[in-house]
Amino acid sequence: MAEPFAEEGELIGFDGSEVIGKHEIVSHLQGIFAHHQPPSYVAKIRSVRRLGPEAALLRAIAGMVPPGQADLNPNLNAHHTVVAVKREGRWQIAFFQNTPAQFHGRPDLVKKFTEELRQSL
């Protein structure tokens, strides 16, 4: 998961963790995935917008199906924001933010978000 990051890439995790630098991102992600079986991820790209000839902004939504289950857990839904840069002909992640899609007090939006992701299952 860390491979596409630029050497100076930055990650803001689902829990708000801030991680800077590819080496630190690798270490951070290894710590997460080493201690439990990760859920299956479901994602849908919502938009890609060029910010210039060598930069782009990608917005996506994601959800997770916990191990042993067949459906998404709406508590794990998230918005993903990626800023990618092209260096030496290769796209790399300069910045990735994983924001929980909790929609506090608006269960109708949680349901709509989850249904959109279910279409990608």
State the pLDDT at residue 36: 81
Domains of the chain: 5-118 (3.10.450.50)
10, 95 Cβ separation under 8 angstroms: yes
**Distance (Å, rounded) from C-alpha 58 to C-alpha 79?**
11
Can you read off the two tokens belonging to residue 99?
């924001």
State the pLDDT at residue 110: 97
State the pLDDT at residue 13: 92
State the pLDDT at residue 93: 98
Burial of 113 (0-12, 13-18, 19+ CB in 10 A): buried
The proportion of the chain whose per-residue pLDDT surpasses 70, expressed as a percent, equals: 100
State the pLDDT at residue 62: 97
Look up residue 86 and give its amino acid: K
**Distance (Å, rounded) from C-alpha 74 to C-alpha 117?**
10
Give the chain's residues under pLDDT 50: none
Report if pTM > 0.85: yes
